[in-house]
């Protein structure tokens, strides 16, 4: 009977948390913003492919071959090349009007046919660092291909290298950044909402009201865990389907329910971290500082931003004890590679085990904080 009453208390306290969150326009708006516009802007705002690079050509040769170059740079990788005089090169580079300027010297075609080795100058604006590095190799390949075709010297390579790109055939950046934005925001929002719930209770004085009710610290804490976890899980599912899958067109290879089950397990850890930080912070600014010290390194070192294998070995050992790395691992396996429970269960177990330990520590700290508050 006491167990049923505990569950009832946790349910009603959780509903109170949901009403409190609904009344907090800033936090509710932040949740909606984080799982909608933020995900879309991160997926589309930064591209790791060459897209619409501006290129100009100085054609001092005026030959058939130089004319082929002007026709070889095509969308969507390049904008249509602009033919400019040599005197315009420095001004256009200085003003940032062109990322690339290809200078074809006089008698280029004649020198090439005669067996001499003429030089083409490629000017690059390296302030556009991403496009500069990728675009230079694209331009070099295009020029070499056009020269070989013009001279009729295309030869079969001794070895044919067949490249097969799995899970993201076109190497589309948004397929990666969109999903990773959701994964990072799950950690960010779970810690922030649960921590803010504790700080908000203290600042508004409602924590004193809870202490006089016939509820235990465990019931209060678990209510905050399930209520905030439910909000994050629902927001994750909606963002994954409508923003990532429908709006960005990212295919979901695996089971969304299985992924959301993993998210639920991970949220026990993330919300426990938020509860712990909420008991340490005395105000929202303090919570923000603690958040920066804990959550940002956890996200950066989880393996989502940089490959886990490229980190120093000691750091890998440390991060293997943090559930965020296992969370990113099984999330990518399910969403990108279509992995099932038979593959990701070790990560599920690791997240559950460490999450349970962190939740126990957070509950002990929360109970101690409530005891100090009541005195």
Cβ contacts of residue 193 below 8 Å, gap of 6+? Answer: 21, 27, 31, 228, 231, 232, 271, 274
Full domain range(s) for residue 124: 55-151
Band of pLDDT at residue 212, cut at 50, 70 and 90: low
Q: What are the tens digits of pLDDT across the range 64-99?
A: 888 888 899 988 888 899 999 988 988 888 888 888
In a domain, 165, yes or no: no
Task: Please count the structural domains in the chain.
Answer: 2
CA dist list (Å): 347 to 95, 255, 260:
51, 16, 14
Q: What is the CATH number of the domain that holds 132?
A: 3.40.1710.10
Q: Of the ranges 69-83, 196-210, 298-312, 351-365, which one carries the lowest mean pLDDT score?
A: 196-210
Per-residue pLDDT at 150? 84
Residue 343 has pLDDT above 70, yes or no: yes
Query: Are both 92 and 20 inside the same structural domain?
Result: no
Query: Are both 87 and 190 inside the same structural domain?
Result: no
In a domain, 161, yes or no: no
Query: Are both 179 and 306 inside the same structural domain?
Result: yes
Cβ contacts of residue 288 below 8 Å, gap of 6+? Answer: none
In a domain, 140, yes or no: yes
In a domain, 241, yes or no: yes
Query: Are both 109 and 219 inside the same structural domain?
Result: no
Band of pLDDT at residue 373, cut at 50, 70 and 90: low
**Mean pLDDT value across the chain:** 85
- The residue among 251 and 6 whose pLDDT is bigger is 251
The helix/strand count (H/E) of the chain reads as: 15, 4
User: 100-104 and 121-124: which strand pairing?
Assistant: antiparallel
Q: What does the chain come to in residues?
A: 375
Residue 154 has pLDDT above 70, yes or no: no
Percent of the chain whose pLDDT exceeds 90: 24
Provide the 8-state DSSP code for 151: H
Query: Are both 213 and 298 inside the same structural domain?
Result: yes
**Is 264 in contact with 218 (CB distance < 8 Å)?**
no
Query: Are both 110 and 254 inside the same structural domain?
Result: no
Cα gap 311→325, rounded to integer Å = 12
- Quick one: 11 exposed, middle or buried, by C-beta within 10 A (0-12, 13-18, 19+)? middle
In a domain, 166, yes or no: no
Give this prediction's pTM.
0.78
**Is 325 in contact with 303 (CB distance < 8 Å)?**
yes
Nearest to 347 by CA among 258, 239, 251: 258
Query: Are both 124 and 266 inside the same structural domain?
Result: no
């Amino acid at each position: 009977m006491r167990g049923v009453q505990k569950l009832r208390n946790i349910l009603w306290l959780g509903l109170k948390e949901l009403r409190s969150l609904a009344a907090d326009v800033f936090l509710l708006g932040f949740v909606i913003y984080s799982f909608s516009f933020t995900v879309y802007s991160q997926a589309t705002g930064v591209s790791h492919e060459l897209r619409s690079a501006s290129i100009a050509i100085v054609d001092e040769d005026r030959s058939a071959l130089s004319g082929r170059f002007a026709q070889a740079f095509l969308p969507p990788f390049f904008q249509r090349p602009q033919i400019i005089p040599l005197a315009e090169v420095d001004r256009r580079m200085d003003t940032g009007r062109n990322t690339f300027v290809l200078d074809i010297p006089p008698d280029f075609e004649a020198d090439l046919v005669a067996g001499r080795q003429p030089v083409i100058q490629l000017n690059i604006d390296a302030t556009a660092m991403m496009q500069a590095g990728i675009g230079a190799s694209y331009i070099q390949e295009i020029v070499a291909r056009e020269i070989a075709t013009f001279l009729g010297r295309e030869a079969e390579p001794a070895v044919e290298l067949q490249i097969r790109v799995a899970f993201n055939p076109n190497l589309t950046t948004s397929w990666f950044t969109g999903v990773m934005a959701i994964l990072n925001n799950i950690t960010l929002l779970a810690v922030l909402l649960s921590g803010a719930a504790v700080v908000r209770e203290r600042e508004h004085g409602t924590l004193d009201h809870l202490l006089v009710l016939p509820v235990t610290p465990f019931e209060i804490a678990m209510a905050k865990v399930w209520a905030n976890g439910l909000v994050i899980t629902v927001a994750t599912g909606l963002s994954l389907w409508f923003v990532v899958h429908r709006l960005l067109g990212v295919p979901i290879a695996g089971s969304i329910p299985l992924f959301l089950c993993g998210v639920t397990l991970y949220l026990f850890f993330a919300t426990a971290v938020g509860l712990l930080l909420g008991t340490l912070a005395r105000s929202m600014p303090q919570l923000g500082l603690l958040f920066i010290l804990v959550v940002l390194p956890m996200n950066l070192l989880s393996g989502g931003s940089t490959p886990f294998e490229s980190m120093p070995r000691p750091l890998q050992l440390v991060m293997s004890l943090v559930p965020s790395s296992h969370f990113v691992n099984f999330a990518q396996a399910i969403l990108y590679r279509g992995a099932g429970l038979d593959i990701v269960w070790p990560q599920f177990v690791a997240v559950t085990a460490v999450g349970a330990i962190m939740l126990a520590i957070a509950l002990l700290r929360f109970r101690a904080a409530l005891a100090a508050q009541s005195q």
